Structure 1
Amino acid sequence: MPLPRPSSYPLLRNRPFRLLLLGRTLSLVGDAVIPAALALAVLRATGSSSALAVVLGCAMGPRLLLLPLGGVVADRFNPRTIALTTDLVRCGAQLFVGVELLGGEPRLWHIAAAEAVGGAASAFAMPTLPRLITGTVTAKDRHGANSLFGVVRSSTVLGGPALAGLLIAYAGPGWAFILDAASFAVSACLLSALRLPHAPAPAPAEQRPSLRKDLVEGWHEVRSRDWYWTSLVAHAAWNGAAAVLMTLGPALAVAELGGEGTWIWILQVGAIGLLLGSLLAGRARPRRPVLTANLGLATYALPLGLLAAGAPAPAVIVAYGLAQAGLGFLSPVWETSVQAAIPSAVLARVTSYDWLLSMAAMPLGYVLAPLAASAWGTATPLWIAAVGVGVACAGTAAVPGVRRFTLPPDLPAQGAVGPDAAPAREDDAVRGGDDAVRAG
């Protein structure tokens, strides 16, 4: 697979974008080692998977509850300031957990409380990234910027487990949290030097509407675009299906597909597929980006169906790699489309609803998958998830706005239309249903 076009690399001469990319990269590297470290640390301390579920719930709960508020805050205030503050909060939370683990007698409620604080901070941090990207690069460079972020995310997913394994084996899980804390500290330092040359100034305090009005306005922006809210339903179905596979897949791999090594191969090939999909997104510029990306997500039905049918391990491994490539392709294409079509003044709020709907489906999958497997056998929830994700993602092709959402053919290969793009003819504007992006 070739690397992204050279036209992506001039972005690295853009100092604000370079600082942003480096800071987010360090944070992603630190975060990539945490899932394995957290699971092992809690299991070592308690020997209970229920305790791990409590800790994970403490991290996820505040994040879900506060995401809409995080979107409002990111739209009202300087996103750089918010991202910097939340990096410092998460640095403190992970440092606390690391010190607790290194102390030798970690207390579960201390870890749970720190993860809850970190989860709350992430609810305010996550909606800032689209505004940080649109604030550091021009409209024509957004697709290149999103593609580079996609490659970075995929690379950390690929290398994170190996780094986590080395840290845990030779230093213990506590040092993984120390590393994550350090990554947030360095990221905060980089953000402190960042300026947003293309970001609009926040509205004065006296001109800001009420919190409720801000939340309603953000939700209206979601509902008014049929291509957007139907895609969110599809993305939520994908996340729910992914939770089913992650819950039932390991046991099936161990019992029927050759053991623990098979599951490791599935995850590793999936990580490679994710990276290859991100690289492909850096080169490709589909005429109908939302439709193409959603059809790519529908491939997640393949590994689910093959697992349910008892297919051999190589088929499942290849299918999972293909499905993850679809996810890797979706992320940059979707983000560029959203940044092009959503007014910058409400971008963070709209993004927060995207995250909320997507992440809320995962706990549902985690809970329902084992219950359904106990009642009807493992194959049943896998088939249900396969049909659900296939129909939800491929079914968006029936939505007029999804089919009509296009990018102008005369823009640069890595370009997108947005509020600060050059003026365009009305019939060339990005379209989503009855909505057209304000160009010029």
Structure 2
Amino acid sequence: MPNPQQRPRQRPPGQQHPLRDRAFRFLFVGRALSLLGDAVIPTALGLAVIAATGSTGALALVLGCAMVPKLLLLPLGGVVGDRFDARAVALATDLVRCATQLFVGLQLLSGSPSLWGIALASALGGAAAAFAMPTVSPLITGTVAPAGLLRANALLGVVSSAVRLGGPLLAGVLVLTVGPGWAFVLDGVSFAVSAALLAAIRVRRVPVPRRSLRADLKEGWVEVRSRDWYWTSLIAHAAWNGAAAVLMTLGPAIAVTGPGGERTWVAFLQVGAVGLLAGSLLAGRARPKRPVLVANLGLATYALPLLLLAVPAPAPLTIAAYGVAQAGLGFLSPVWNTAVQSAVPEHALARVTSYDWLLSLSAMPLGYVLGPLAASAWGPGVPLVAAALLVGAACAGTAAVPGVRRFTAAPDGRADRRTDRRTGERAGAEEAAPAH
């Protein structure tokens, strides 16, 4: 018979599920709504611009207006995210993006949208994203105990994967029933709700001394350069993004000319989204001893669908390979974010994250441009094989880097600080730094 005075065993505070914490729960809900709103935009934007202008060049202009300011301002966004309150920065950018999406939505609902108005709103939204993206990691570390970082990142990864799976379907329903304008209104409302939730929470932060912009940028770059496991992995991740851009530009043409036609490409993308979700779910349960090494080797599987498309192999085999490759991406995102958040000093986390995004996103336009150029000169097989060799060698090649092999994780997924070795420094040097 149980003792009525015996209290049930409770987990230590750091072991509690992240969603039990009000601050992270509000952050999680806000991120989920924003991701869902954003998931419907690519489909709605493409259909809306083409319907309004009949020009693919106009769509390229709008997409370029969003991408260019994002790339140019990302380093500055990292400095702002570290120097000021990440919550306040994220809240302000949510409000800006709410306004831009509502503006585009109202333009489309008016029946006479202005291309230049949409392009300007896209540029403002891209600029806001450059300041918002580096704040995600500081927001997570500021609301979650260190022991819960992997679980928190995995939860966000699952939501991101799920909305990628259901976002295009929701976009199609909105476009076909009420029109694309309402998709942008929905996205704007999601940013407004996210801002309201951020306003209701408190986020821990590490004060950063005021210095020049150049000194802040330099310090962030030093944090990147001094970790061989980090900068070599960034090269591999950039290669992955460049290869993905090649696949996304050449894959549809190869798929639609095959036996299954457009249905093959739709199945390709849907299986990839399922794989992405499966990888995110696995990341929340698996505890690899060498997380960076395992995650990078998982990314190397992206070479498989590239090679199979180049052959071309039977569609079911290529589709299955893409699902496996996307599972590797889904597994990497939470594991990588946890490794970075637990190894990089909190006072430099936004700047380090901004360099991560900058390098990764910069590789994608190269893939978009070089893939079709090479295909027009030598056929699609050549750029696909070249991309496969590049991504396979870059991702698997990180196994030769001592820091990648030495980087180990505790049972809760956090980095073992003793293995976060800097070039020319002892393993424990980072703990002795005054910034900590």
**TM-score, normalization by structure 1:** 0.92
User: Contact between 2:408 and 2:415, CA under 8 Å: does it hold in 1?
Assistant: no
Aligned counterpart, 1:99:
106
Q: Distance in 1 between matches of 2:264 and 2:16?
A: 37
List per-residue Cα deviations over 1:117-162 (Å, max 9, x = no partner): 0000000000001000000011111111111111111111111011
- Is 1:305 the counterpart of 2:307? The answer is yes
- Is 1:159 the counterpart of 2:171? The answer is no
| Shift, 1:199, TM fit | 2.6
Aligned counterpart, 1:217:
219
Aligned counterpart, 1:131:
138
| Shift, 1:292, TM fit | 0.4
- Is 1:438 the counterpart of 2:421? The answer is no
Matches within 5 A, 1:7-86: 10-86=17-93
Aligned counterpart, 1:421:
none
User: Contact between 1:136 and 1:199, CA under 8 Å: does it hold in 2?
Assistant: no
Q: Distance in 2 between matches of 1:313 and 1:195?
A: 50
| Shift, 1:392, TM fit | 0.5
| Shift, 1:432, TM fit | 3.9
For 2:271, give the aligned amino acid.
V
| Shift, 1:417, TM fit | 4.7
Q: Over aligned residues, Cα RMSD in angstroms?
A: 1.5
Secondary structure in structure 2 of the residue aligned to 1:41: helix
List per-residue Cα deviations over 1:77-102 (Å, max 9, x = no partner): 00000000000000000000000011
Moved more, 353-362 or 250-259: 250-259
For 1:287, give the aligned amino acid.
K
* Cα separation, partners in 2 of 1:9 and 1:315, compared to 1, 3 Å: farther
Q: Which runs of 5+ in 1 are unaligned?
A: 1-6, 419-427
Matches within 5 A, 1:251-290: 251-290=253-292
Aligned counterpart, 1:233:
235
User: Contact between 1:405 and 1:433, CA under 8 Å: does it hold in 2?
Assistant: no
User: Contact between 2:407 and 2:415, CA under 8 Å: does it hold in 1?
Assistant: no
List per-residue Cα deviations over 1:188-228 (Å, max 9, x = no partner): 000000111x432x34xxx4110001001111111111110
| Shift, 1:50, TM fit | 1.1
Q: Which runs of 5+ in 2 are unaligned?
A: 1-13
- Is 1:332 the counterpart of 2:334? The answer is yes
Aligned counterpart, 2:7:
none
* Cα separation, partners in 2 of 1:139 and 1:227, compared to 1, 3 Å: same
List per-residue Cα deviations over 1:351-380 (Å, max 9, x = no partner): 000000000111111111111100000111
User: Contact between 1:236 and 1:361, CA under 8 Å: does it hold in 2?
Assistant: yes
Q: Distance in 1 between matches of 2:183 and 2:379?
A: 37
Q: Distance in 1 between matches of 2:53 and 2:383?
A: 30
| Shift, 1:39, TM fit | 0.5
Q: Distance in 1 between matches of 2:177 and 2:364?
A: 32
Q: Distance in 1 between matches of 2:349 and 2:47?
A: 37
Could you tell me the percent identity over the aligned residues?
Answer: 68
User: Contact between 2:227 and 2:420, CA under 8 Å: does it hold in 1?
Assistant: no
Q: Distance in 2 between matches of 1:316 and 1:168?
A: 30
Matches within 5 A, 1:193-204: 193-196=200-203, 198-200=204-206, 202-203=207-208
Secondary structure in structure 2 of the residue aligned to 1:136: coil
Q: Distance in 1 between matches of 2:351 and 2:387?
A: 29
Q: Distance in 2 between matches of 1:400 and 1:13?
A: 38
| Shift, 1:14, TM fit | 0.3
Aligned counterpart, 1:363:
365
Q: Distance in 1 between matches of 2:270 and 2:415?
A: 36
| Shift, 1:11, TM fit | 1.6
| Shift, 1:430, TM fit | 3.8
| Shift, 1:27, TM fit | 0.2
User: Contact between 1:300 and 1:324, CA under 8 Å: does it hold in 2?
Assistant: yes
Q: Distance in 2 between matches of 1:239 and 1:403?
A: 23
For 2:128, give the aligned amino acid.
A
Q: Distance in 2 between matches of 1:223 and 1:254?
A: 43
* Cα separation, partners in 2 of 1:438 and 1:148, compared to 1, 3 Å: farther
Secondary structure in structure 2 of the residue aligned to 1:283: coil
For 1:326, give the aligned amino acid.
G
User: Contact between 1:406 and 1:432, CA under 8 Å: does it hold in 2?
Assistant: no
Aligned counterpart, 1:398:
400
Alignment length (residue pairs): 416
Q: Distance in 2 between matches of 1:298 and 1:290?
A: 13
